[in-house]
């Protein structure tokens, strides 16, 4: 490299640099010359990469909003259209590519990733020109381009900081980019290859780079990149699983009294293979028992990557009606045995006993339903209406009106409203009504909820929200995935602790949003007073009885939600009373602060984890998934399934088959090349045609030479 390559430019170019640090130059007589870009080091430190990825996930974390009820969902996550799924499949999320002077980074990998984002965004031919452990520099190799950037570790805070930046490109993109070498391409597509190795083949990688970033790479580069990514995946899983017991020991040491379970099975070779994992931190279970409503949302989601399996989660709800992660675990497959094991762990940690007084919300997963029946027989088990509606769509198609009828039925707070909405559904479509009745609506309609728990949930969207927040975590190797989920939980608690202590209202922000909707109708109520602190609230043809002493309303919304309904709010407005005095204690600011008094304690990095005497844990073979058994299918197994309205006994019409015809004589069975050889048969064919109706009456099919096809009927 030219010794003056990173010298300050002429006065007509704006340059940012830090006076206290010298501009990096290749000094004369330097023992270790700066390597050229084509001999860039191949691999990164895996631990440094893991720490960067985990820190990035925490930095990008955006807290989930409060769960708002009685709003029709915009879309149904179970029923994404194929086009959207395909776009998501090919999408590779990257940063914005913005760089600036004195920008700081967690480590050198963070800086390199930011420069790569800039190269992908601009399409410029950027190459690395300095590789020191504490100094990294890049330049643009475009014809005469002056773009430069230099980053080094600061002595005070030990962070990487941009100290020289010439933010001017004097070249035009030409489709080349020196940064996109084999390791970089492998890293770009690592998560995609980990998730779908058979889809992201070299040709697909080359095509994606060309279409998404307008950069040209060679097919051999993509082949080598895919091989490298697969080797990384193989190595990282072996290394991570080997230290799974050490990771569990670190959790127990840093967060005493936490429950951590690592279960293994011994294979034929005598090795310990991973079976399942569970963790519930002491601070979290203590907080849930003392300051959260008795509600648990349970769900499972796929783990992406080489090790196939399911991530099981249990979530509570805080005073602001936001999700509160309680426990999570990993199993190889969702079945009755694993769900019973997970529910048993929850039951022990949270002191659920037989489940009396507690609410479980889930989808209709058979293994989970059975586990709750066995372990928590007295719990109120609510089914998710979103999954009920998804099943209805499969049988009756997508219909906006059906969607509204089903959700209105679920939102019925009393049996009168339930019967009215059920009648509307019957009048709309009897077949839909019949399927709804079969789905046991008493398990997902508010009219039949037990009162006193103050939770009106009819769907399990809290777990859906949590699963969306850990999408990037599920892309990572096993232990980094678990560590990312833990760190996100720690960050979530710390963020909300600060938010709750800054809040000045008597009730949480969720209550304010709830009451704002109720006020619109409450202000239109006509109130009539009775004895014993009882009132009558009327709006139009709707009249209800309210008792402020017993805290009841005949619409039952107040008893189910714990927040005054429109009728109660109307009475409070009429009497000039403070509505906050009639809000359940679960939604008050002191309870919100109590939710986040205790948090997860920080943990040390992998280099400081205690070494345990447990044998190394090995990667398990792919588990058999529940459902149809795979194997060699017989001809009978391959038969087409009958349609909904097809006869179970009659055979379907045979497919149309094309028949060869001669263009000379029109006869079937030969073409013009073999006309002479088949001349006698052609004459016979003409005789058949002249017979006309006589033959047509006896023949099961009619030949029409002009069409050249014949329909065979079975």
602 neighbors 490 (Cβ within 8 angstroms):
yes
CA 147 – CA 168 distance, rounded (Å)? 5
**For residue 342, what pLDDT is reported?**
97
**For residue 531, what pLDDT is reported?**
86
User: Which contiguous run of DSSP H or E holds residue 239?
Assistant: helix 219-242
* 300: its two tokens: 């499972």
**For residue 701, what pLDDT is reported?**
40
Query: 612-656: per-residue pLDDT in tens?
Result: 888 888 888 877 665 555 455 444 444 555 554 455 555 555 555
Q: Residues 223, 226, 227, 230: what is their CA dihedral angle, to the nearest 10 degrees?
A: -170
Q: Residues 547, 552, 555, 557: what is their CA dihedral angle, to the nearest 10 degrees?
A: 140
H, E, C per residue of 507-526: ECHHHHHHHHHHHHHHCCCE
* 143: its two tokens: 């014809």
Residue with tokens 């127990």: 252
Q: Residues 494, 500, 502, 503: what is their CA dihedral angle, to the nearest 10 degrees?
A: 160
**For residue 11, what pLDDT is reported?**
34
CA 112 – CA 212 distance, rounded (Å)? 20
**Sequence-ordered strand ranges (E) for 530-616:** 534-539, 542-547, 552-553
Phi-psi region of 3 (alpha: psi -120 to 50; beta: other; left: phi over 0): alpha
Query: 322-369: per-residue pLDDT in tens?
Result: 999 999 999 999 999 999 999 999 999 999 999 999 999 998 888 999
CA 375 – CA 340 distance, rounded (Å)? 7
Task: Name which of 614, 574, 687, 539 is nearest 241 in CA terms.
Answer: 614
**For residue 234, what pLDDT is reported?**
75
Taken in order 671, 677, 681, 685, the sign of the CA dihedral is: positive
**For residue 642, what pLDDT is reported?**
53
362 neighbors 383 (Cβ within 8 angstroms):
yes
Please tell me the pTM assigned to this model.
Answer: 0.70
State the angle between helix axes of 415-428 and 400-410 in degrees (0 to 180), rounded to the nearest 10. Answer: 160
697 neighbors 706 (Cβ within 8 angstroms):
no
**For residue 431, what pLDDT is reported?**
92
Counted residue by residue, the chain has a size of 714
Residues of the chain with pLDDT under 70: 1-63, 65, 74-90, 236-237, 305-306, 624-658, 677-714
492 contact partners, CB below 8 Å, separation of at least 6: 61, 63, 325
């Amino acid at each position: 490299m030219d010794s003056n390559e990173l010298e300050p430019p002429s006065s007509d170019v704006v340059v940012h640099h830090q006076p206290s640090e010298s501009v990096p130059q290749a000094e004369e007589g330097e023992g270790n010359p700066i390597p050229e870009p084509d001999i860039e080091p191949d691999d990164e430190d895996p631990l440094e990469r893991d720490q960067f990825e985990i820190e990035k996930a925490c930095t990008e974390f955006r807290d989930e909003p409060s769960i708002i009820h009685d709003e029709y969902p915009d879309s149904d996550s179970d029923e994404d259209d194929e086009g959207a799924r395909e776009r998501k499949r090919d999408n590779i999320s990257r940063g914005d590519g913005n760089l600036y002077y004195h920008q700081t980074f967690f480590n050198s990998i963070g800086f390199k990733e930011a420069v790569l984002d800039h190269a992908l965004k601009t399409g410029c031919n950027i190459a690395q020109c300095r590789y020191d452990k504490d100094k990294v520099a890049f330049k643009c190799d475009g014809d005469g381009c002056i773009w430069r950037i230099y980053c080094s570790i600061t002595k005070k805070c030990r962070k990487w900081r941009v100290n020289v930046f010439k933010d001017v490109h004097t070249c035009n993109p030409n489709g080349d980019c020196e940064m996109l070498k084999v390791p970089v391409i492998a890293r770009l597509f690592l998560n995609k290859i980990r998730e779908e190795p058979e889809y992201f083949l070299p040709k697909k990688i080359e095509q994606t780079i060309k279409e998404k970033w307008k950069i040209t790479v060679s097919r051999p580069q993509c082949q080598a990149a895919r091989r490298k990514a697969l080797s990384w995946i193989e190595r990282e899983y072996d290394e991570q699983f080997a230290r799974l017991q050490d990771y569990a020991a670190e959790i127990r040491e840093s967060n005493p009294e936490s429950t951590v379970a690592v279960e293994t099975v011994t294979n034929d070779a005598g090795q310990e293979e991973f079976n399942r994992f569970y963790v519930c931190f002491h601070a979290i279970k203590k907080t849930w028992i003392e300051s959260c409503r008795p509600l648990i949302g349970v769900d499972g989601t796929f783990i992406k990557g080489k090790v196939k399996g399911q991530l099981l989660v249990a979530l509570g709800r805080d005073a602001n009606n936001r999700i509160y992660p309680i426990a999570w675990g990993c199993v190889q497959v969702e079945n009755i045995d694993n769900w019973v094991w997970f529910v048993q762990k929850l039951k022990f940690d949270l002191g659920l006993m037989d489940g009396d007084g507690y609410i479980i919300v889930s989808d209709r997963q058979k293994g989970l339903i059975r586990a709750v029946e066995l372990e928590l027989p007295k719990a109120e088990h609510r089914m998710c209406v979103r999954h009920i509606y998804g099943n209805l769509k499969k049988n009756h198609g997508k219909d906006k009106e059906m969607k509204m009828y089903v959700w209105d039925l679920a939102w019925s707070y009393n049996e009168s409203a339930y019967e009215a909405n059920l009648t509307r559904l019957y009048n709309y479509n009897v077949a839909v009504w019949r399927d709804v009745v079969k789905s046991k609506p008493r398990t997902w309609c508010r009219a039949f909820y037990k009162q006193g728990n103050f939770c009106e949930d009819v769907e399990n969207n809290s777990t859906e929200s949590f699963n969306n927040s850990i999408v990037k975590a599920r892309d990572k190797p096993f232990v980094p995935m678990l560590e990312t989920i833990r760190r996100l939980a720690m960050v979530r608690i710390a963020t909300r602790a600060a938010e709750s202590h800054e809040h000045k209202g008597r009730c949480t922000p969720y209550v304010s949003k709830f009451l704002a909707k109720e006020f619109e109708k409450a202000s239109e109520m006509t109130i009539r007073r009775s004895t014993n602190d009882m009132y009558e609230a009327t709006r139009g043809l709707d009249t209800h009885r309210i008792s402020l002493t017993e805290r009841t309303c005949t619409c039952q919304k107040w008893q189910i939600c714990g927040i005054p309904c429109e009728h109660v709010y109307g009475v409070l407005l009429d009497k000039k009373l403070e509505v906050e005095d009639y809000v359940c204690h679960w939604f008050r600011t002191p309870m919100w602060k109590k939710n986040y008094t205790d948090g997860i304690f920080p943990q040390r990095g992998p280099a400081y984890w205690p070494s345990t005497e447990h044998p190394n844990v090995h990667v398990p073979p792919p588990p058999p998934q529940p459902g149809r058994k795979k194997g060699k299918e017989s001809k009978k197994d391959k038969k087409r399934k009958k349609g909904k309205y097809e006869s179970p006994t009659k055979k379907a019409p045979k497919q149309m088959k094309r028949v060869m015809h001669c263009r000379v004589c029109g006869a079937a069975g030969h073409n013009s090349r073999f006309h002479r050889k088949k001349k006698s048969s052609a004459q016979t064919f003409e005789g058949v045609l002249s017979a006309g109706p006589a033959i047509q009456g006896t023949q099961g099919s009619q030949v029409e030479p002009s069409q050249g096809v014949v329909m065979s009927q079975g």
